[in-house]
Structure 1
Amino acid sequence: MKQFPVVLVVAALCVQRATSLWCYQCENAHYHKDCKEVKCSDMDSYCVTAKNEITGQEVSVSKWCSSTCPKSSEKKGGKREVSCCQSDYCNGGASGVRSSFALLGTALLASCFYVLRTGL
């Protein structure tokens, strides 16, 4: 019976997404409020955020759904930093802070094993 919570957590972490991903979408926006919520296609598995820095211009951000995670790039006069995530609305907000479900799941599993081992 003690193993049931562990099995339940492992099963929950292994379940694949059954519905389409939701992301924010905008092109060269200066404020998050300029982005809108969109439902991605079933083929898309990433929410992408690209921070566009062009020398002498204000920094802008582009956000969209994607089936792949594009790479960051540098070009003459600026650079484009790209970050990708795989949960609903994870490319939102002004801060760009992302939570890691893998890290959270690992910490939860470690906690469960500790409790089971020590009998607390």
Structure 2
Amino acid sequence: MKAFLIALLVAVLCAKQASSMFCYVCENEHSNWNCLKTYKCEDNEKFCLTTYSSAGLGKDMGHRITKKCSADCPETNVNFGVAAYSTKCCSTSLCNFSGANSIKMSYTMMFLGVVASLICVIKAGL
């Protein structure tokens, strides 16, 4: 009986752990409420990836959210003022619940835009 229990213990400890990573998935949705479908990731996919993009000004601002499983984690954060693109990764099941990825303001780009506008106004003689 002891030999059987020891063999069972060794088998359990040596067994390969199955992937049980789940992520929320959606493609180019306008709202995070449309991104609550769950999906079991493949064994090589170790991250949940959320991509958030926006473009436009004021009331014409459009937002898109994409969520999926991913084998790598390409975190990106680009903001041009009128267009922005951001990706965020996490590595636990269903960790990509929020669609509010942080797209940080690029104060350098905003400053350059203001300076360029002032130069145009001065050149035009207004």
TM-score with structure 1 length normalisation?
0.57
Structure 2 match to 1:81: 86
What does 1:92-111 correspond to in 2, within 5 Å? 92-94=97-99
Q: Per-residue CA shift, 1:27-61, capped at 9, x if unaligned?
A: 11122231211011000000011111112432121
Please name the residue that 2:53 is paired with: 52
Q: In the alignment, residue 20 of structure 1 is paired with which amino acid?
A: S
Question: What residue in structure 2 maps to residue 38 of structure 1?
Answer: 39
Larger of the two Rg values belongs to structure:
2
Can you give the 5+ residue segments of structure 2 that lack an aligned partner in the other structure?
A: 1-16, 102-126
Write the letter of the residue equivalent to 2:20: S
Quote the RMSD (CA, aligned, Å).
2.5
> Number of residues paired by the alignment?
81
Match of 2:108 in 1: none
Residue 14 (structure 1) aligns with? none
In the alignment, is residue 69 of structure 1 matched against residue 70 of structure 2?
no
How far apart, in 2, do the equivalents of 1:94 and 1:83 lie? 10
Runs of 4+ more than 4 Å apart: none
Letter in 2 for 1:87: T
Query: Which residue of 2 is the match for residue 29 of structure 1?
Result: 29
- What is the match of residue 11 of structure 2? none
* Counterpart-to-counterpart distance in 2, 1:63 and 1:31: 12
Alpha-carbon distance, 1:94 to partner: 4.7
Q: Structure 1 unaligned runs (5+)?
A: 1-16, 97-120
Q: 1:73 to 1:95 in 2, by over 3 A?
A: closer
Counterpart-to-counterpart distance in 2, 1:46 and 1:88: 9
